[in-house]
Structure 1
Amino acid sequence: MTPRAVAATFLATACLAGPATAGCGDDVAAFRWPDGSTEFKIEIADDAEERARGLMFRESLAPDAGMLFIYERPQGVAFWMKNTLIPLDMIFIGADGRVNGIHSMAVPGDETPIPGPSRTLMVLEIAGGRAAELGLVPGAELRHPRLDQAAALWPCGQP
C-alpha cells in the first residue's frame, strides 16, 4: 500500500470512529437526561485500596472533574467523608447506568455513613453542589465503557 493510501485509510477510519466513541473513554463519565447533558474528566477507583482512599486529602476538585468508584457487582454501598477536605456530591449509579440517587453536599470530615441505593455498581464523586448546578437528577443515564454495554441504557457508540 502506498503512503498516500495508508493515510487515506487512516483518515477514513478516524472519521468513522470519531463521533461514535466521543465521550466514551475510561477517563470520561458522560451523563444525559431530558433537560441536559454533561461530561466529567474522571479518575477510576476500582479496587479496595483505591476506593478506601478516594478523594481524601484533596484540597480542591475542578468543576468538571470527579472520581468514579466501580464495584465488581451491584451491591449496597456506604461512603463517609473521613479525611476529605472538600464538600462532595455523590452520584449513585446502577448496573444499567441509571442514576439511582444523589447525595448532595457531603460534609468534609463527617464520619456518618452515607448509604446509597441497593444494587449500586458505581458512584461518581464530584464537587459539592455541582449536580444541582447542572440539573443532574436521578434517572439520568451514564455512558461509560466499564458498564456492561448490552445492559447499558446509553451504550458507547450511541450518540
Structure 2
Amino acid sequence: MPARVILGFLALALGACSTASSKGRVEKFERTVPLSSYQRIELAAKNKKMRVYLADDSDKRREGLMQAGKNDLGPEEGMLFVFPTDGYLSFWMKNTPLPLDIAFLRADGTVINILAMKPYDLSNYSSAEPARYALETHAGWFLRNDIEPGDRFDLSLPAAGR
C-alpha cells in the first residue's frame, strides 16, 4: 500500500508541474530591457488618444510587457510593436500577469483584428492577415473606446520607429 500512495503522490506532483508549466507560471523571468528605456509616443484613433511604449527593436519586441504590473501601464497606455516588414504576427502571454487586448495593424494604421489575451497563456494570438504593427493595451480598452477592425490609428512615428 505505501508504494501505491507514493506513486499516487508522484503522479499528482508531476501533473501539477505539467499544468503550471502549460500556464507559463513556473519560469523565472528577468527583464533585460527596462520599460523606462522605451521611447513613449502618442497614438490616436477616432479621437481617442493613448500613450504607448515603442517596441521598435528585437530586444524590446521580445520582452514586450512581460512582468509588467498594474503600475507599469496606465489606463490609457499600451505598447506598440513595430516590425520592419509586413508579416503574419503571433504573440503569447508568457510571463505576462496583466490581461491584455491586442490589435494587429496594417502599415497605414488600419486595424486588422483585435484579440483578448489571458495572463500567462501560452496560446498563439495571431494576425488575421499580414500586419506591420501590434498594439497591446489593457483588456477592454478597444471595446471601451469603440475601436474595431477597419478603424485607423494615426501612426506618426519617429524615423527610427518606421
**TM (normalized to structure 2)?**
0.69
Report the aligned-residue RMSD: 1.9
Q: Is the deviation greater in 75-84 or in 131-140?
A: 131-140
Partner of 1:118: 129
Q: Which has the larger helix fraction?
A: 2
Residue aligning to 2:34 = none
- CA distance in 2 between counterparts of 1:124 and 1:70 reads 9
Residue correspondences, number: 119
The percent identity for this pair of structures is: 31
The 5-angstrom pairing of residues 67-82 of structure 1 reads 67-82=79-94
Q: Distance in 1 between matches of 2:62 and 2:118?
A: 17
CA contact (8 A) 1:96 1:147 kept: no
Tell me, yes or no, if the aligned pair for 1:70 and 1:123 is still in contact at 8 Å: yes
| C-alpha displacement of 1:146 | 2.9
The Cα of 1:118 is off from its aligned counterpart by 2.2
1:50 corresponds in structure 2 to 60
Higher relative contact order, structure no. (Cα contacts within 8 Å, ≥ 6 residues apart)? 1
Measure the CA separation in 1 of the matches of 2:75 and 2:95.
20
The structure with the larger Rg is 2
Structure 1 runs (4+) greater than 4 angstroms displaced: none
Structure 1 unaligned regions, length at least 5:
1-25, 149-159
How far residue 71 of structure 1 moved from its aligned partner, in angstroms, is 0.3
- Note the residue ranges of structure 2 that are not aligned, 5 or more in a row: 1-39
1:90-101 equivalence runs, <5 A: 90-101=102-113
Compute the displacement of 1:121 (Å).
0.5
User: Post-superposition shift, 1:147?
Assistant: 9.0
- 8 Å contact kept, 1:95–1:147: no
